[in-house]
A and B are shown apart, each in its own frame.
Chain A
Amino acid sequence: MTKKPWISLGGIGVFAVLLLAVAPLVLTDHWLNNLGKYCCWAIAAVGIGLAWGRGGMLVMGQGVFFALGAYAMAMHLTLETAGDRVPGFMVLYDPLAPLPMFWEPFRSAGFTLAAIVGLPVVVAGALGYALFKRRVKGAYFAILTQALAVALAVLISSTIRETGGDTGLSDFKYFFGFVLNDPANRLMVYLIAAALLIVCLLAVWQFYRSRFGELLVATRDAEERVRFLGYDPANVKLVAFVVSALMASIGGAMFVPIVGIITPAEIGAAASILMIAGVALGGRASLFGPALGAIAVGWGQSSLGSTWPDGWPYILGLLFIVVILFLPNGLSSLPARFAAARRKPDVPPTPVIAAAELEEVRS
């Protein structure tokens, strides 16, 4: 748990050096750009680790919050590229089409940044409040969030004139005044994404070692018991859910300038599940597991996914099954397992995540 917080902090430091100093020196522009993309997924994954690994909320629709950040950023970059004119894809269907009302405020850089932070907080806050106060949890919560991701993807697909539909938003030329084609600026964008990932890791590091982190684990394992200690578990879960939504939004926002395009396919059900897959693979309850898992899945996607596109989904699926069956706490639990196996060769280590269902034993 939080026995060795300073070692973890050192780990984040090493990670920061690798991402911010080593990677730009040794990687080609192409792979650095890819790593930037993985960092965006990793930012969302860190949030999933907080909500799911520590909070026990299986957030299957993080694509929704990823989309809020991504589309806010994409709308601003599209307007910046279009200048005083209406974005190209809008006049494709109607040469005299006016700019939709909700696009107008995104001309402002300040509003866009505020929206990237504020929108997920407001949406996740309202959604989480309604769900957690009504004690919606478990599979119901997972399915509901997943359905929202599907619904949002369908909504964007069907509003092609306002949002670009399935083709999405792309061809951004500027990023807050910087020309995106310039390699130096691309490096800067990568460094921002990597730095944000480090900041998110530091944030969850503090969360995990704080009293709130202990309370969150307690809520995950025995929600009713926490209620009888005088806390409202809904509020505890709400905080974790909102923070995870915020991280997904930040990841989405940085995804846009790095990848250069955002479409409903990047935020729908499949994309949301891919984010979860990385977290499960790396170890949902650990500090580094979600981020490293997301980077690994992203890397698999671009290397194996492009050389052997037919086989990649099967490999990912197989990996997922093997991890869930044999390593429920992900690859990051391997060292602890080895250590435990060495100490007590005959006693198999028990899975750490075992929720005491108080409701069931109460008579």
Chain B
Amino acid sequence: MTDASLVVTDLRVEFSGFVAVGGVSFDAHPGEVRFLIGPNGAGKTTCIDAITGLTKGTGSARLGDTELLGRPVHKIVRLGVGRTFQTASVFDELTVLQNLDIAAGLHRSSVSLLRARRGVDRSIEQALEETGLAGEPATPAGILSHGQKQWLEIAMLLVQDAKVLLLDEPVAGMSHDERTATGELLQRIAARRIVLVVEHDMDFMRRFATRVTVLHQGRVLSQGTVAEVQADPQVQEVYLGTAGAATTAAMAVVLERED
């Protein structure tokens, strides 16, 4: 697909004086499942908001040679940056197929919008297969299970041919099996695209992350592989409260209990 990487440099977001993100830098490449973790209020979602143009940020977020910051939301999407939300936000009244068809529509001409849909695009069929929704094209999205809605969102990103998938807590509220299925799906997708996951679920992170960035109070606390991050005393301090009591073993226990 693409060799371009997402490179975020010194990203800052302020809300009327309050620094939500204070100079965060990280990068993500195709072929890895990149995780962004941190306690509540660490600024994970705000980072994604800034990259996708939803909130104003300063600094730099580049996809390949293209600067993303400062562009309107829909233009950033057209550059190939797609995202999901914490709360699944599919169009409840439309069917799975219609949802996907709308997502696939951004590469269509405006005139073709005035015609009715005939047949199903190849890319939509593939996305249905890939996300395990092949049996549900005519189901109204509103009556899908919570997990299926999240998969539908991922499928929508696939049909819009996003180069970068920014996923905000994709497995929240999912059963264990659904989490495993989602993780495997993300690993498959990541082979050809950039996948960046914001997550609270430490077990899910440990099983599927290639590289992790830990945020704390709007700053990067630690960065590296899962093992490296877990061994970082600073990370242990944040998650345990006191540095002295922190041991790698205790950290592991706490992380185990997180979900």
Which residues of chain B come closer than 8 Å to A225, judged between CB atoms?
A: 85, 89-91
The answer to the question of A210 belonging to the interface, with a C-beta cut-off of 8 Å to chain B, is yes
Which residues of chain A come closer than 8 Å to B52, judged between CB atoms?
A: 228
Give A320-363 interface residues, CB cut-off 8 Å to B: 352, 354, 356, 358, 361-363
Whether the pair B93, A217 counts as a contact (CB closer than 8 A) is yes
- Given A210-B115, A228-B73, A228-B82, answer yes or no on A215-B105 (Cβ-Cβ < 8 Å): yes
- Given A227-B73, A229-B160, A232-B74, answer yes or no on A211-B91 (Cβ-Cβ < 8 Å): no
The answer to the question of B83 belonging to the interface, with a C-beta cut-off of 8 Å to chain A, is yes
Which residues of chain A come closer than 8 Å to B156, judged between CB atoms?
A: 229
The answer to the question of B94 belonging to the interface, with a C-beta cut-off of 8 Å to chain A, is yes
The CA of A292 and the CA of B103, in the complex, are separated in Å by 34
Which residues of chain B come closer than 8 Å to A217, judged between CB atoms?
A: 91, 93-94
- Indicate which residue in A206, A226, A232, A361 contacts B114 across the interface (CB closer than 8 Å): A206
The answer to the question of A230 belonging to the interface, with a C-beta cut-off of 8 Å to chain B, is yes
Interface string of B63-81 (1 = CB under 8 A from A): 0000000001110011000
The answer to the question of B176 belonging to the interface, with a C-beta cut-off of 8 Å to chain A, is no
Whether the pair B72, A232 counts as a contact (CB closer than 8 A) is yes
A-B contact count (CB 8 A): 93
Whether the pair A229, B103 counts as a contact (CB closer than 8 A) is yes
The answer to the question of A214 belonging to the interface, with a C-beta cut-off of 8 Å to chain B, is yes
Which residues of chain A come closer than 8 Å to B112, judged between CB atoms?
A: 211
The answer to the question of A316 belonging to the interface, with a C-beta cut-off of 8 Å to chain B, is no
The CA of A210 and the CA of B78, in the complex, are separated in Å by 22
Which residues of chain B come closer than 8 Å to A103, judged between CB atoms?
A: none
Which residues of chain A come closer than 8 Å to B45, judged between CB atoms?
A: 363
The answer to the question of B98 belonging to the interface, with a C-beta cut-off of 8 Å to chain A, is yes
- Indicate which residue in A222, A228, A352 contacts B91 across the interface (CB closer than 8 Å): A222
Q: Which residue of A lies closest to B117 (CB)?
A: A211
Whether the pair B85, A358 counts as a contact (CB closer than 8 A) is yes
Give B23-74 interface residues, CB cut-off 8 Å to A: 45, 49, 52, 54, 72-74
The CA of A209 and the CA of B106, in the complex, are separated in Å by 18
Whether the pair A230, B106 counts as a contact (CB closer than 8 A) is yes
The CA of A2 and the CA of B95, in the complex, are separated in Å by 11
The answer to the question of B178 belonging to the interface, with a C-beta cut-off of 8 Å to chain A, is no
The CA of A361 and the CA of B108, in the complex, are separated in Å by 30
The answer to the question of A1 belonging to the interface, with a C-beta cut-off of 8 Å to chain B, is yes
Which residues of chain A come closer than 8 Å to B89, judged between CB atoms?
A: 222, 224-225, 356, 358, 361
Interface string of A192-230 (1 = CB under 8 A from B): 000000000000001101111011011001101111111
Whether the pair A221, B72 counts as a contact (CB closer than 8 A) is no
Whether the pair A361, B92 counts as a contact (CB closer than 8 A) is no
Interface size of A as a range? 20 to 34
Whether the pair B86, A218 counts as a contact (CB closer than 8 A) is no
Most buried by A among B52, B92, B101, B113: B113
* Interface residues in B, total, Cβ within 8 A: 35
The answer to the question of A231 belonging to the interface, with a C-beta cut-off of 8 Å to chain B, is yes
Cβ distance B151 to chain A, nearest Cβ, rounded Å: 16
Which residues of chain A come closer than 8 Å to B1, judged between CB atoms?
A: none
- Indicate which residue in A2, A227, A356 contacts B92 across the interface (CB closer than 8 Å): A356
The answer to the question of A317 belonging to the interface, with a C-beta cut-off of 8 Å to chain B, is no
Which residues of chain B come closer than 8 Å to A227, judged between CB atoms?
A: 73-74, 77
The CA of A214 and the CA of B97, in the complex, are separated in Å by 11
The answer to the question of A5 belonging to the interface, with a C-beta cut-off of 8 Å to chain B, is yes
The CA of A218 and the CA of B89, in the complex, are separated in Å by 11
Which residues of chain B come closer than 8 Å to A214, judged between CB atoms?
A: 94, 98, 101-102, 117
Which residues of chain B come closer than 8 Å to A210, judged between CB atoms?
A: 113-116
The answer to the question of B87 belonging to the interface, with a C-beta cut-off of 8 Å to chain A, is yes
Whether the pair A231, B105 counts as a contact (CB closer than 8 A) is yes
Q: Which residue of A lies closest to B138 (CB)?
A: A3
The CA of A259 and the CA of B135, in the complex, are separated in Å by 56
The CA of A4 and the CA of B222, in the complex, are separated in Å by 56
The CA of A354 and the CA of B236, in the complex, are separated in Å by 44
Most buried by A among B74, B90, B94, B114: B74
Cβ distance B74 to chain A, nearest Cβ, rounded Å: 5
Q: Which residue of B lies closest to A358 (CB)?
A: B89
Which residues of chain B come closer than 8 Å to A228, judged between CB atoms?
A: 52, 73-74, 77, 82-83
Cβ distance B193 to chain A, nearest Cβ, rounded Å: 16
Give B108-152 interface residues, CB cut-off 8 Å to A: 108, 112-117
- Given A222-B91, A227-B73, answer yes or no on A212-B102 (Cβ-Cβ < 8 Å): no
Cβ distance B150 to chain A, nearest Cβ, rounded Å: 14
Whether the pair A209, B86 counts as a contact (CB closer than 8 A) is no
Whether the pair A5, B160 counts as a contact (CB closer than 8 A) is no
Interface string of A42-60 (1 = CB under 8 A from B): 0000000000000000000
The CA of A159 and the CA of B35, in the complex, are separated in Å by 67
Which residues of chain B come closer than 8 Å to A207, judged between CB atoms?
A: 114
Whether the pair B82, A221 counts as a contact (CB closer than 8 A) is no
Whether the pair A212, B113 counts as a contact (CB closer than 8 A) is yes
Most buried by A among B73, B94, B108: B73
- Indicate which residue in A218, A358, A362 contacts B102 across the interface (CB closer than 8 Å): A218
Q: Which residue of A lies closest to B106 (CB)?
A: A230
- Indicate which residue in B49, B86, B116 contacts A361 across the interface (CB closer than 8 Å): B86
Q: Can you list 20 contacts pairing A with B, beta carbon distance less than 8 Å? A: A1-B98, A5-B116, A206-B114, A207-B114, A211-B102, A211-B113, A214-B94, A214-B117, A227-B74, A228-B52, A229-B105, A229-B160, A230-B74, A230-B77, A230-B78, A231-B74, A231-B106, A232-B72, A354-B92, A356-B92
Besides the contacts A215-B102, A228-B73, A361-B87, what 8 more A-B pairs have beta carbons closer than 8 Å? A210-B113, A211-B113, A214-B101, A221-B93, A229-B74, A229-B102, A229-B103, A230-B74
The 5 closest A-B pairs by CB, nearest first: A230-B106, A230-B77, A212-B113, A361-B87, A209-B116
